[in-house]
Amino acid sequence: MFNDPISKKIARSRAVAGLLTNRGPTGRLIIALSILFAVAGCGETTMSNGATASSSASTTPAPLLEVSHAKVRGLLPGRNMTAAYFTLKNNRPTAVTLSGAKSASATAVEMHTVEMVAEQMRMRPLAEVVIEPGQSATFVSGSHHLMLFEVAEIETSMTIILQFKDGTELPIEFSKVNISGGAN
């Protein structure tokens, strides 16, 4: 009768219930240990892959808007115009609309794209970029990019503030790279 797992669980439950109703030293010990284990278990959860997720305040969620590969091309001699590239990931539960950018290091920053017009590649202004939840927009040479005008000098990096249709502004530090793509 006690060979199947369900019967064993029932027998253990009855034994524990008897100890709890007894309220003797053993019953009180079991209650105290149960409370201790319940409280101790509240801080962490072990996942199936063995990783531990803690519910403490030190856990940092992914940023709602995440920028990577932020690079700005160094200026060519005698020029004051350059381009910037990056990848923007939307971790929000709703779509976001990138509507522009600005920088204290440039008099103007414009979003552009490159498209085929009459069998020639042409740079065109880009009014906005919609990024769906969980998706990314990539700004690279030959496609979407930022154009920076009247840039005085770029030391090792420059801050560009991404602007969104909802009024959000996201300042990002763009690393300087030389014109061939290598870091300066």
Query: What pLDDT is recorded for position 6?
Result: 52
Specify the pLDDT at position 66.
95
Which one-letter DSSP state was computed for residue 38?
H
Q: Are 159 and 174 in contact (CB under 8 A)?
A: yes
Q: Is the pLDDT of residue 38 over 60?
A: no
Query: Which pLDDT score, from 0 to 100, does residue 116 have?
Result: 83
Quote the pLDDT of residue 125: 94
Question: CA 164: distance to chain centroid?
Answer: 16
82 versus 116: the higher-pLDDT residue is: 82
What is the reported pLDDT for 171?
97
- Residue scoring higher pLDDT (38 or 5): 5
DSSP string, 51-74: -EEE-STT--PPPSEEEEEEEEEP
pLDDT digits 0-9 by tens, 147-181: 999 998 899 999 999 999 999 999 999 999 987 54
Does residue 33 have a pLDDT over 80? no
* Banded model confidence at residue 12, pLDDT cuts 50, 70, 90: low
Average pLDDT, the chain: 78
Residue 54 binned pLDDT confidence (cut-offs 50, 70, 90): very low
